[in-house]
């Protein structure tokens, strides 16, 4: 920086001195020439009356001798020219040997009635001359021209001496200014150079480096501000280091596996838990080189496409992990591996237990129901018949619960294969409505179906969709005492929308989030009276999820409920 400032100042000083010299020489020369021009004009005006008299009297001989004597006396060259440009007298040369002067610039200006001036090289005297010509006029008539002139040799000589002195003093001034500039440039650049050295030290890791400056000017204030900034940086870096160490400790000791990778797929971080799964050499490799599992690759592809957090179950080395993937603002990908192997085993044991118990209960319940029906036929006692009806109703409810448990266990089985076909949903809905119409009429209800064509076909399992519609309409009839049940089908974007709306008792807001749970019922007394199992809506939700759809519920107590199912068309 010192060299740069010194060179810049030297260039500026040199240009400034050069301009001063040029302007000075130009202005001094112009001043000299203006002064000489005024002198020559005054002398010409002094000689003009005598020359006018001689020209008027045509005394040519006297003109030449007059200009000779006056030229020697005044130390200038004097020339008289008539109106035709013929030289009548000249103090330096024989006028008869001189060429016609009509086309000289100063003579032409005098002919026009002005004072003519000109600087040019004289072929007669072989040097540069300053010429001043005035017109000789008498009674309004031009008689000729009186010209005075002087050699510029003396001016050039004086200017040369002056130029030498100015140049000598300018060089001395330039040297003095360079010395002063060097001194002040060092004073300015030294703190900046020290700042630069401190910055290099800090960038090398020495955050304790500081600038030592006692100056009170802007440089000193800048140094103080820099030192304050360095102190803050050191404090913040220490805090960041501590927090980073804490974070590394937490990440390293997380029970869950943690993987961080670039959007390109390069792994940049794994914690100890994940190293136990994929090995110690994962960092620096692509994720597909380390985790060659289709479910995991599908999870990452889904995240890259949607840019939204997503999760999926992945089986690695006979263990099941719930992988939660998210993308950071810097487009890095974070995946957390939750080991849910034991949970999945418990779910499997629970499901197997439910299935086994349900199968075991089905036979005795069927036998009980058969014996109850046999006893009904064998006795006419009204009291016994009443108790038999109660036993039969609860037996039917138990049989329905067992059937729904088996259905639910089947739907929760990850290996279930859907019998997908191209189906037209209104056909299935129409068949279900026919089944429930007699039951609805007994309660004084009507069932309506509204279609908003066109309704495209969808890929789905017809038996499961039939079960879905049956459960929704069955619930609507059970919890509606008057009014109607409306089943509406329409096409919305990429979904076929199925809506079942009733005018029943409705569902309080605090219960809506739990109605899809197993055995959860809002009105337990009504559910028992109608033989409800508390599993119908849970089965509905599982069927919707198996078809990659979604279900919404809106309800107002005392006015009814609306269940809306969205099934994708592709």
**3-class SS letters over 249-302:** HHHHCCCCEEEEECCCCEEEEECHHHHHHHCCCCCCCEHHHHCCCHHHHHHHHH
Residue 520: inside a domain: yes
User: What's 413's DSSP letter?
Assistant: -
DSSP helix/strand/coil, 346:
helix
HEC letters along 465-532: HHHHHHHHHHHHHHCCCCCEEEEEEEEECCEEEEEEEECCCCCCHHHHCCCCCCCCCCCHHHHHHCCC
Beta partners for 78? 148
Per-residue pLDDT at 148 = 92
Write the CA distances from 465 to 411, 454, 541, 567, integer angstroms. 12, 20, 11, 10
- Of the residues 143, 158, 173, which one is the last residue of a structural domain? 158
Instruction: Specify whether 374 is located in the same domain as 487.
Output: no
Per-residue pLDDT at 356 = 60
Instruction: Specify whether 107 is located in the same domain as 216.
Output: no
Per-residue pLDDT at 408 = 61
- Of the residues 199, 220, 253, which one is the last residue of a structural domain? 253
Residue 151: inside a domain: yes
Which residues, in sequence order, are CB contacts of 318 under 8 Å at separation 6+? none
Per-residue pLDDT at 214 = 63
The values of phi and psi at residue 265, to 5°, are 105, 0
> How many distinct helices (H) and strands (E) make up the chain?
15, 17
Residue 176: inside a domain: no
Per-residue pLDDT at 134 = 93
In this structure, how many other beta carbons lie within 10 angstroms of the beta carbon of residue 501?
A: 19
Which residues, in sequence order, are CB contacts of 269 under 8 Å at separation 6+? 251, 258, 259, 260, 261, 283
**Rounded CA Rg of the chain:** 58
Return the structure tokens found at 218. Answer: 């802007």
Residue 501: inside a domain: yes
Per-residue pLDDT at 289 = 86
Residues in the chain with pLDDT values less than 70: 1-10, 13, 17, 21, 25, 124-125, 154-155, 185, 187-190, 207, 212-218, 252, 280, 347, 350-363, 365, 394, 396-397, 399-416, 518-534
Per-residue pLDDT at 326 = 92
Total domains in the chain come to 5
Name the helix (H) or strand (E) containing 177.
helix 153-203
pLDDT in tens, 433-450: 888 888 888 888 889 888
Alpha-carbon distance of 429 to 473, in angstroms, equals: 10
Q: What pTM was computed for the model?
A: 0.44
pLDDT in tens, 301-357: 988 888 888 988 888 888 888 899 999 888 899 999 988 888 877 767 766 666 666
CATH number of the domain that 372 lies in?
1.10.287.130
The HSE-up count of residue 294 (CA atoms within 13 Å, CB side) is 0
DSSP helix/strand/coil, 166:
helix
Instruction: Specify whether 437 is located in the same domain as 466.
Output: yes
Instruction: Specify whether 230 is located in the same domain as 258.
Output: no
Domain region containing 119: 2-158
DSSP helix/strand/coil, 444:
coil
Name the helix (H) or strand (E) containing 335.
strand 333-339
Instruction: Specify whether 445 is located in the same domain as 388.
Output: no
CATH number of the domain that 120 lies in?
3.30.450.20
Residue 197: inside a domain: no
Write the CA distances from 71 to 92, 122, 150, integer angstroms. 8, 17, 10
Residue 165: inside a domain: no
Alpha-carbon distance of 262 to 184, in angstroms, equals: 53
Instruction: Specify whether 152 is located in the same domain as 11.
Output: yes
The distance in angstroms from the start CA to the end CA of the chain is 70
CATH number of the domain that 476 lies in?
3.30.565.10
Instruction: Specify whether 152 is located in the same domain as 13.
Output: yes
The values of phi and psi at residue 116, to 5°, are -100, 135
Instruction: Specify whether 447 is located in the same domain as 512.
Output: yes
Task: Order across the sheet with 257-261: list the strands.
Answer: 267-270, 257-261, 333-339, 319-327, 310-316
Which residues, in sequence order, are CB contacts of 431 under 8 Å at separation 6+? 466
Task: Order across the sheet with 495-502: list the strands.
Answer: 446-451, 484-492, 495-502, 560-568, 550-556
Per-residue pLDDT at 442 = 87
- Of the residues 339, 359, 387, which one is the last residue of a structural domain? 339
Instruction: Specify whether 391 is located in the same domain as 489.
Output: no
Instruction: Specify whether 275 is located in the same domain as 322.
Output: yes
Residue 474: inside a domain: yes
Alpha-carbon distance of 110 to 132, in angstroms, equals: 9
Residue 132: inside a domain: yes
Per-residue pLDDT at 357 = 62
Instruction: Specify whether 408 is located in the same domain as 381.
Output: yes
Per DSSP bridges, beta strands 446-451 and 484-492 are: parallel
Instruction: Specify whether 536 is located in the same domain as 557.
Output: yes
């Amino acid at each position: 920086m010192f060299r740069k400032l010194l060179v810049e100042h030297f260039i500026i000083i040199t240009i400034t001195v050069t301009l001063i010299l040029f302007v000075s020489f130009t202005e001094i020369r112009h001043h000299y020439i203006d002064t000489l021009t005024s002198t020559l004009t005054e002398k010409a005006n002094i000689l003009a009356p005598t020359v006018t008299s001689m020209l008027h009297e045509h005394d040519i001989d006297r003109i030449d001798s007059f200009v000779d004597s006056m030229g020697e006396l005044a130390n200038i060259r004097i020339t008289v020219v008539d109106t035709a440009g013929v030289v009548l007298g000249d103090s330096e040369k024989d006028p008869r040997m001189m060429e016609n002067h009509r086309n000289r610039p100063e003579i032409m200006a005098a002919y026009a009635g002005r004072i003519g001036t000109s600087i040019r090289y004289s072929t007669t005297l072989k040097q540069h001359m300053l010429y001043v010509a005035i017109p000789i006029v008498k009674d309004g008539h031009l008689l000729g021209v009186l010209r005075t002139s002087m050699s510029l040799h003396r001016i050039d000589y004086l200017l040369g001496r002056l130029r030498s002195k100015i140049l000598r003093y300018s060089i001395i001034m330039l040297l003095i200014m360079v010395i002063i500039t060097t001194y002040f440039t060092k004073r300015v650049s030294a703190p900046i150079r020290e700042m630069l050295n401190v910055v290099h030290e800090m960038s090398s890791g020495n955050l304790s480096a500081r600038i030592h400056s006692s100056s009170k000017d802007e440089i000193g204030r800048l140094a103080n501000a820099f030192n304050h900034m360095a102190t803050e940086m050191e404090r913040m870096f220490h805090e960041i280091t501590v927090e980073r160490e804490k974070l590394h400790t937490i990440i390293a000791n997380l029970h869950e596996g943690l993987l961080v990778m670039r959007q390109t797929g390069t792994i940049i971080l794994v914690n100890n838990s994940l190293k136990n799964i994929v090995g110690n050499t994962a960092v620096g490799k692509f994720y597909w080189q380390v985790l060659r599992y289709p479910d995991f690759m599908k999870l990452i592809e889904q995240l890259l496409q949607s840019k939204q957090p997503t999760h999926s179950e992945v089986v690695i080395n006979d263990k099941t992990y719930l992988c939660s993937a998210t993308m950071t603002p810097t487009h890095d990908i974070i995946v957390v591996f939750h080991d849910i192997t034991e949970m999945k085993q418990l779910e499997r044991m629970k499901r197997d237990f439910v299935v086994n118990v349900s199968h075991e209960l089905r036979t005795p319940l069927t036998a009980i129901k058969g014996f109850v029906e046999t006893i009904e036929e064998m006795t006419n006692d009204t009291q016994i018949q009443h108790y038999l009806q109660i036993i039969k109703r609860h037996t039917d409810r138990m049989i329905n619960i067992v059937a729904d448990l088996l259905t639910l266990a089947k739907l929760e089985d990850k290996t279930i294969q859907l019998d997908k076909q191209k189906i037209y949903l209104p056909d299935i809905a129409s068949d279900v409505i026919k089944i429930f119409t007699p039951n609805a009429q007994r309660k004084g209800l009507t069932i309506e179906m509204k279609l908003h064509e066109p309704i495209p076909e969808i890929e789905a399992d017809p038996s499961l969709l039939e079960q879905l519609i049956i459960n929704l309409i069955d619930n609507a009839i059970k919890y509606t005492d008057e009014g109607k049940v409306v089943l509406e089908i329409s096409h919305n974007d990429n979904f076929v929308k199925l809506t079942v709306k009733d005018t029943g008792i409705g569902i309080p807001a605090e219960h809506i989030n739990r109605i899809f749970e197993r055995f959860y019922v809002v009105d337990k007394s009504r559910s028992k009276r109608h033989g409800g199992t508390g599993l119908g809506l849970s089965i509905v939700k599982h069927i919707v999820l198996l078809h990659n759809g979604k279900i919404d519920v809106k309800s107002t107590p005392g006015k009814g409920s609306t269940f809306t199912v969205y099934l994708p068309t592709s």
